[in-house]
Amino acid sequence: MNLLFIGDIFGSPGRSFLKELLPRLREEYEVDLAIANGENAAGGVGLTGAVAEEIFAAGVDVITSGNHIWNQKEIYPLLDTDERILRPANYPPGAPGRGSAVYRARDGTAVGVINVCGRIYSSHNLDCPFRALDAEIAKTRASTPVIVIDFHGEATSEKVAAGWHVDGRASALLGTHTHVQTADELILPGGTAYISDVGMTGSYDEGVIGADREAVLKYFLTQLPVRIKPAGGKRQFSAVCCTINSAGRAERIERLLIRE
């Protein structure tokens, strides 16, 4: 089974580049399941129903998210009704939506997808992501040994530790959130594909991790609230492609960084 995981889609520049590239990439890499982190897809902060449908229409099968999934309140009801959209599993009980689900890939493989948020440098009081992963993996393995995790977090150390924590129990643990693709992809001894951050799909040469640089500079210089919007300029597409066997072990992980 070939999995394509696309790093944080940032606003309309990310969505437009996704639509241009994904059909070709699905064919070139014989992709059976495409997952994308979409927590910044609507204007750079949050996700809406219309934007989610645009991403699905482009060829994405599953949308994962992170701490910004709550910024657009109109998405809350959809999190309860559309199983193709996940929010982090380690938010407290009562939060809308679900943190994991099992999907059918194009080749017929059942694929479990789990989404969690890290706690280091987070302003949210979240449940332990490691214990949340234990519970979600145990639940998901009853349906399939093929399990893919989006670990959405700031700290590389926390993500590396999480990779070791799930090695042999998950097929892949792929980091998101920092918008900077890391060059540490590998397959751990137990067969889990790992990368600290898949990167960002959006504008890269005129802004700050996808956002308009003037607003970000104003924030850092004044510490006053600012309205974030996507930057202009050239676009990039960040992803990883993993090959996973029927036993749930990763056989290959390849980084993709495509720029205009």
Task: List, as one string, the DSSP characters of 131-196.
Answer: HHHHHHHHHHTTT-S-EEEEEE-S-HHHHHHHHHHHBTTBSEEEEESS-S--S--EE-TTS-EEES
Cβ neighbour number for residue 108 with a 10 Å cutoff: 8
Catalytic site residue from 68, 152, 177, 179: 68
In one-letter notation, the amino acid at residue 108 is G
In one-letter notation, the amino acid at residue 38 is G
Give residue 97's region: left, alpha or beta (phi > 0; psi -120 to 50): left
Write b or e for each residue in 22-41: b if 16 or more Cβ atoms lie within 10 A of its Cβ, otherwise e.
Answer: beebbeebebbbbbbbbbbb
41: helix, strand or coil:
coil
Question: 152 an active-site residue?
Answer: no
Query: Encoding tokens for residue 193?
Result: 């594909």
Catalytic residues: 68
